[in-house]
Amino acid sequence: MPRRAAVSNVPSARATRARGAATRAPAAKSAKGKPAGSASKKRKAESDSDELSEPTGLTSESGSDSELSDASDFEPDADVEDDDEPEAIEAISVLDDSADDEDEAPPLKKARSSLARDQKQKQPAKGKKLLTGPGRLEVKVVNGRRVTALGEELDDDSDDLDLEDGQEVVGRTYPAPRSGRVPPGRISRNTLAFLEALMDPANNDRDWFRSHEPAFRQAEKEFRDFVDVLQEKMAEVDEEVPVLPARDICHRIYRDVRFSSDKTPYKCNFAFTTSRGGRRGIWAKYHLYIEPGYSLIACGLWQPDKAVLQRLRDRLLGNPGPDPFREAISKPEFVELFGPPQPNGRRQNVFGHSDELKVAPKGIEKTHPLIDLLRLRTIAVVKHFTDDQVLDPNFADMLAGVVGVMEPFVHMLNDYITPS
């Protein structure tokens, strides 16, 4: 008997949780909408008098534990009296509300995450366009120069698109031109038109460039194909220059704006640089630059470091008799392309660069017979071409002919700067 009395006086853990939940819900009402306070007192009295009864009413007749996970399926019988175990009903209701929060919250969160993921998939990421269409070439005048805006005249037909919820038109992608293409070894008008468009400050930004990327990729490939063909021709006239993959010697179109007041992100030209050591190194280089209205080929040393420049000056000062430098820049074919070898205050031959010294270098008399050469800090010559020449089918042959005239000058510079 003592053991039975002990059992009857200790409620089960489930009963304790149920009673606690009912107590923590002051606004809770019974199944028929009446306050549960009086029912709780009556139920407590009944639990004290009945040693073996379930304190919360959760008997086998209420179903298994799994039935409590769905509160919407639980409804009290219609004929339950107001004082017939309302606390059990209320306790179940409160517990089920809590269970609902715990069981239903993860699926809700998952549903929201799935919706966000679906919307993210439907809406294009930055740089992806929903709308495509043919581009047109409009010619404008910017700062006195002809500038084209590729595809800017297309009507905005975004209203005609059948967009799903969460989708929006974030930009337009213009296809590359389908006409006007040329075989490898030539520059097309499409390439010059794309570079002209970039010269418009309104176009030289990431959004415009991204929308015209197909035209850029086509122009870039065309230029690299041209460089491949040109290298083969250059190797025939200058055997010291190796034939390299175009991607290794072509310059990127993206500008380094970190230390520049001009923050436009893209260059308005295509260019490549090569030498006996490739694109980089101390050797005299060949440089091709294609820009609408300002295309050129150059060769020489651009602002070499102090050690290289000092070696060149030492070689000039140490040459007895006629100087090979002066002879190289005075050849008739060289003068015909690059001008006479005398400084006159403007750009011609190797003279007239902006970094040229105004006075004699330290330790050199200003009356030295080679003072005009000793003041040089950039030793280079430049040959310009018109747009019509760039578009000429024989432009690569023209460049190879110029390289043939440059070759003795380049070799002379390499001999002068070669460390002894």
137, with CB counted inside 10 A (0-12, 13-18, 19+), is middle
Domain end position, chosen among 81, 110, 139: 110
DSSP code for 254:
B
SS3 96: helix
Q: Tens-of-pLDDT digits for all 420 residues of the chain?
A: 444 444 344 444 444 454 554 444 444 444 444 444 555 544 545 544 444 444 433 333 434 343 333 434 434 444 444 444 443 333 333 333 434 444 444 444 444 444 445 444 444 444 433 443 333 344 344 444 444 445 434 444 445 667 778 777 777 888 999 999 999 999 999 999 999 999 999 999 999 999 999 999 999 999 999 999 999 999 999 999 999 999 999 999 999 999 989 899 999 999 999 999 999 889 999 999 999 999 999 999 999 999 999 999 999 988 766 788 999 999 999 999 999 998 887 899 999 999 999 999 988 898 898 899 999 999 999 999 999 999 999 999 999 999 999 999 999 999 999 876
pLDDT of residue 184: 95
Question: Residue 160: inside a domain, yes or no?
Answer: no
Question: Residue 200: inside a domain, yes or no?
Answer: no
C-alpha 21/C-alpha 93 separation (Å) is 9
C-alpha 61/C-alpha 68 separation (Å) is 13
In this structure, the answer to whether residues 215 and 362 fall within a common structural domain is: yes
- φ, ψ for residue 364 (rounded to 5)? -110, 135
Question: Residue 185: inside a domain, yes or no?
Answer: no
Token pair listed for 219: 């122009």
In this structure, the answer to whether residues 69 and 210 fall within a common structural domain is: no
Token pair listed for 78: 């219609």
pLDDT of residue 97: 41
**Which helix H or strand E contains 8, and what residues bound it?**
helix 2-9
Q: Residue 210 to residues 181, 185, 214, 217, 254: CA-CA distances in angstroms? A: 21, 27, 9, 11, 13
pLDDT of residue 343: 86
In this structure, the answer to whether residues 217 and 365 fall within a common structural domain is: yes
Question: Residue 181: inside a domain, yes or no?
Answer: no
Question: Residue 126: inside a domain, yes or no?
Answer: no
Decide if 35 contacts 27 (C-beta within 8 A). no
In this structure, the answer to whether residues 87 and 236 fall within a common structural domain is: no
- Please give the sequence-ordered ranges of beta strands (E in DSSP) within 236-284, or none if there are none: 270-275
Structural domain for 273, as ranges: 206-417
C-alpha 224/C-alpha 342 separation (Å) is 37
Decide if 92 contacts 18 (C-beta within 8 A). yes
Question: Residue 197: inside a domain, yes or no?
Answer: no
Domain end position, chosen among 110, 136, 152: 110
pLDDT of residue 43: 52
C-alpha 196/C-alpha 137 separation (Å) is 11
- Angle at alpha carbon of residue 389, lines to 293 and 400, rounded to 5°: 115
Token pair listed for 204: 């030289």
In this structure, the answer to whether residues 301 and 406 fall within a common structural domain is: yes
Domain end position, chosen among 110, 131, 166: 110
CB atoms within 10 A of CB 129: 15
In this structure, the answer to whether residues 216 and 351 fall within a common structural domain is: yes
C-alpha 169/C-alpha 163 separation (Å) is 9
Find the distance separating the first CA and the last CA of the chain, reported in whole Å. Answer: 115
Question: Residue 154: inside a domain, yes or no?
Answer: no
Q: Residue 217 to residues 92, 113, 148, 224: CA-CA distances in angstroms? A: 68, 37, 18, 11
Amino acid, single-letter form, for residue 404: G
Q: How many domains would you assign to the chain?
A: 2
Question: Residue 329: inside a domain, yes or no?
Answer: yes
